[in-house]
Amino acid sequence: MSTPTEPTRASSGRLNKLALAAIVFAVMAASGFWVFGVAVLAVFAVGAGHVALNQIQLRGERGKGLAIAALAVGYGIATLALVSTLGFIPTAVQQFSQ
C-alpha cells in the first residue's frame, strides 16, 4: 500500500514579489550593517521572508530560495546584533560603576 502524499502544485512560473523584496531588504541590511546603520532593515527582510514563504506555498509561485536566503541573512544580522549588544553590557556596567 502506498501512503497518500500531499499533491504538489506545478510552479506557475511567476516569481513571488515579496520574496524579491525580502532579498532586497536583506542585501541592503547586510551591506549597510557596518557602514550606514541600516541593519534595522533585517527586520523587514525576516517579516517579508516569512510571508513570502506562506504565499509561495499557497499560490505555487517561485522564489522559495530567495525567501529562505533573506531569512538566513536577516536572522544572521539579528544574531550579530544580539551578540554585540551582550558583549557591550559589561563595558557599560563598568563605566557606570566608576
Is position 7 within any domain?
Answer: no
Whether 52 and 18 have beta carbons less than 8 Å apart is answered as: yes
Residue 87 burial by Cβ neighbours in a 10 Å radius (0-12, 13-18, 19+): exposed
Residue 61: give the domain boundaries: 17-91
Is position 2 within any domain?
Answer: no
Whether 16 and 29 have beta carbons less than 8 Å apart is answered as: no
Is position 86 within any domain?
Answer: yes
Is position 9 within any domain?
Answer: no
Reading the chain (98 residues) residue by residue, the pLDDT tens digits are 556 555 455 556 899 999 999 999 999 998 887 777 778 889 999 999 999 999 999 999 999 999 999 999 999 998 988 888 888 888 888 888 87
Q: What is the reported pLDDT for 3?
A: 61
Q: What is the reported pLDDT for 7?
A: 47
| Rounded-to-integer distance, Cα 33 and Cα 81, Å | 9
Is position 98 within any domain?
Answer: no
Number of folded domains that form the chain = 1
